[in-house]
Amino acid sequence: MINIVLFGKPGAGKGTQAEFLKTKYNLVHLSTGDIFRFNIKNDTDLGKLAKSFMDKGDLVPDAVTIKMLEDEVDKNLDKDGFLFDGFPRTIAQAEALDTFLETKNWKITATIALEANDEILVQRLLERGKTSGRPDDQDEEKIRNRYQEYNEKTAPLTEFYDKQGKFHAVNGIGSIEEITERLSKVIDNL
């Protein structure tokens, strides 16, 4: 069982790399954004609850997010592990994830951060915004605000996982193949 937390600022290539890693290692890619959209679109009880907070402009409480993740894990018990993308974002979420995984006699195997220079990532997102239709990829100020939030929230997580010997940084600049090779080298040596 391999359970990996994939970190990286918006535009770092998490989604692209997750596609390769999930196939290569038979992992389930759990993107909190995708899970939220699925639950809201399908009008599930958890989706309705999450939407009630989002409609007020509030953050969805950790308990709701964690329950959505737990449901997805429970649907995929036949896989060789999970690739968590966009979660955890806080120490409390990391601790809740650890507690949940312990109920299955599992643990986080590693956290891997795709690291890249902000200026390169801003250009990547602005380019992506030309075709993605995402307004948050088309406004440089919004992009930089997302990076500031990432820096504030993820720094403590880096330390949290580093103390456990589970944190690995990978250079996120280069061709898709080069980055996949770097990530695979980390995973293969776990």
Label residue 80 by pLDDT band (50, 70, 90).
Answer: very high
Q: What is the pLDDT of residue 119?
A: 93
Output 146 or 39, whichever has higher pLDDT. Answer: 39
The distance in angstroms from the start CA to the end CA of the chain is 11
- Average pLDDT for 6-24: 92
Set 14, 22, 124, 182: catalytic member: 14
Is the pLDDT at 59 greater than 80? The verdict is no
Please pick, among 9, 89, 124, 182, the residue that the annotation labels catalytic. Answer: 89
For residue 141, pLDDT over 80 is answered with yes
Question: What are the CA-CA distances from residue 94 to residues 51, 108, 125, 157 (Å)?
Answer: 23, 10, 27, 8
Note if 182 is an active site residue: no
Q: Is 12 annotated as a binding residue?
A: yes
Q: Which two tokens stand for residue 93?
A: 């979420």
**Superfamily of domain covering 2-116+158-188:** P-loop containing nucleotide triphosphate hydrolases (3.40.50.300)
Q: In what order do the strands lie in the sheet with 2-8?
A: 28-31, 81-85, 2-8, 110-115, 167-171
What pLDDT digit, counting tens, does each position of 26-54 carry? 999 999 888 988 999 999 999 999 989 88
**Domain assignments of the chain as residue spans, ordered by start:** 2-116+158-188
Question: Is the separation of the CB atoms in 25 and 81 below 8 Å?
Answer: yes
pLDDT of 83 higher than 80: yes
Better-predicted residue by pLDDT, 17 or 153: 17
Select which of 67, 79, 128, 153 is catalytic. Answer: 128
Average pLDDT over residues 102-124: 94
Annotated catalytic residue 146: yes
